[in-house]
């Protein structure tokens, strides 16, 4: 896939939302034009990997300022730099903002699928298999009812695939092995094999299609099948545990605020499979309580959604948790959401007249 900067897509998109996106970024840069850290912010915006996280940080900082707080970008912390600091009622709070990429190619499923390909390649090489084969990994639901964690199963699955391929190479016929996590089968791939997508969660070819067979990008002839190695994966529906992802994300962000006083972590949850989160969500409360026991520098957590307003700009709504008396007040968060409903960054450009 072409490596193109997100702002280039917005500038050339030609849609109404593309125009709004560009104007929104211009308004945010205009609003923070006097902040000493703006040069660092612009450098981050030039990096395509940092572009979306940086625009998110700017937008949340702008919303805090709109609710009456003083805001400073990229303040120093004992272990690095926070995204911004907000001063409310004379008390300053360092804030870290991060989101889940709403991108299936960055999911635990894709990482597990990639690990299956790695194991298949290693097994074929070590066993000197000349024919195309198919590996079928069927993950069983856990007996204790807990969600399946694909991240923790990768090394176990890798060893199981290698063992199953060795057995297949000796038997030269279908081999199915049973493991604690489920079953792994190895068999000869069929000519022009086509996956049964009703049976499998995901099916993938190991080899890429030669350029000469493609023509234009996207015309891969996938439905016709390919003579190549295949991996098949079936997993229980509960394998995508959003609360496990949330727990891991909180640990990462908390490191940046170590040694600080009353840090705030804001994690927009649009990229979570759970959908809407609420302050009454028992599993979310459990994640928050676990975080409270293990961290002291961060005393407030927010998990907002960012819906589009009628003008196409981002809104904000969602639960907030104060974990200590000195934490950023919950009333202030409520005010951030209330003020933002009637406010738009596009007014910053309108003011230029």
Give per-residue pLDDT as tens, 219-250.
444 444 457 899 999 988 766 678 888 998 99
Query: If pLDDT is split at 50, 70 and 90, which confidence band does 12 have?
Result: confident
The predicted pLDDT at position 182 comes to 95
- Predicted local confidence at residue 264, as pLDDT: 98
Cα distance between residue 29 and residue 41, in whole Å: 9
> Could you report the per-residue pLDDT of 291-305, keeping only the tens digit for each?
999 999 999 999 999
Integer Cα distance of 159 and 182 in angstroms: 13
Amino acid 275: pLDDT: 56
- pLDDT (tens digit per residue) in 289-338: 999 999 999 999 999 999 889 999 999 999 999 999 999 999 999 999 99
**pLDDT tens digits for 162-183?**
999 999 999 989 999 999 999 9
Check residue 238 and give its pLDDT: 66
pLDDT of residue 143: 83
Which has the higher per-residue pLDDT, 190 or 337? 337
d(CA 20, CA 108): 32
- What is the per-residue DSSP string for 160-175? HHHHHHHHHHHH-S-E
Q: How long is the chain?
A: 353
φ/ψ of 297, rounded to 5, equals -70, -30
Lowest mean pLDDT among 27-41, 112-126, 260-274, 289-303: 260-274
Give the tens place of pLDDT for each residue, 45-87. 999 889 999 999 999 999 999 999 999 999 999 989 999 999 9
pLDDT band at 103 (very low <50, low <70, confident <90, very high): low
- The model's pLDDT over 252-294, given as tens digits with 9 standing for 90+, comes to 999 999 999 999 999 998 877 655 578 888 989 999 999 999 9
CA dihedral 318, 323, 326, 330 (to 10 degrees): 20
- pTM beyond 0.85: the answer is no
The backbone torsions φ and ψ at residue 72, rounded to the nearest 5 degrees and listed phi first, read -130, 130
Sheet strand arrangement including 202-205: 175-179, 182-188, 133-139, 230-234, 202-205
SS3 57: helix
In the chain, what are the helix, strand and coil shares in percent, each to the nearest 5? 45, 20, 40
- Report whether pLDDT(2) > 50: no
pLDDT mean over 182-198: 90
- Label residue 100 by pLDDT band (50, 70, 90): confident
């Amino acid at each position: 896939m072409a490596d193109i900067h997100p702002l280039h897509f917005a500038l050339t998109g030609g849609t109404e939302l593309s125009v709004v996106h560009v104007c929104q970024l211009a308004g945010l840069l205009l609003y923070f034009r006097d902040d000493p850290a703006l040069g660092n912010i612009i450098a981050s915006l030039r990096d395509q990997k940092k572009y979306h996280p940086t625009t998110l940080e700017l937008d949340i900082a702008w919303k805090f300022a709109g609710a009456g707080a003083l805001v400073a970008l990229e303040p120093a912390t004992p272990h690095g730099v926070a995204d911004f600091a907000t001063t409310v009622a004379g008390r300053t709070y360092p804030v870290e903002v991060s989101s889940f990429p709403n991108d299936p190619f960055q999911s635990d499923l894709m990482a597990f699928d990639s690990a299956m390909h790695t194991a298949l390649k290693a097994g074929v090489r070590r066993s000197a298999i000349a024919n195309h084969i198919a590996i079928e990994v069927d993950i069983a639901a856990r007996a204790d009812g807990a969600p399946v964690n694909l991240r923790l199963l990768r090394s176990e699955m890798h060893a199981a695939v290698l063992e199953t391929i060795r057995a297949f190479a000796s038997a030269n016929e279908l081999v199915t092995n049973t493991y604690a996590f489920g079953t792994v089968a190895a068999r000869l791939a069929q000519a022009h094999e086509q996956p049964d997508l009703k049976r499998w969660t995901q099916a993938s070819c190991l080899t890429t299609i030669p350029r000469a067979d493609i023509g234009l990008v996207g015309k891969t002839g996938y439905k016709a099948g390919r003579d190549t190695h295949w991996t098949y994966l079936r997993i229980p529906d509960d394998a995508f545990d959003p609360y496990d992802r949330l727990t891991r994300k909180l640990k990462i962000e908390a490191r940046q605020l170590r040694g600080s006083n009353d840090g705030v972590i804001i994690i927009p949850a649009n990229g979570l499979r759970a959908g809407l989160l609420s302050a009454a969500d028992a599993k979310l409360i459990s994640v928050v309580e676990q975080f409270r026991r293990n961290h002291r520098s961060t005393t407030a957590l927010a998990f907002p959604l960012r819906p589009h307003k009628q003008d196409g700009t981002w809104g904000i709504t969602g639960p907030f948790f104060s974990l200590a008396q000195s934490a950023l007040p919950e009333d202030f968060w409520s005010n951030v959401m209330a003020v933002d409903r009637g406010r738009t960054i596009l007014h910053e450009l309108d003011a230029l007249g």
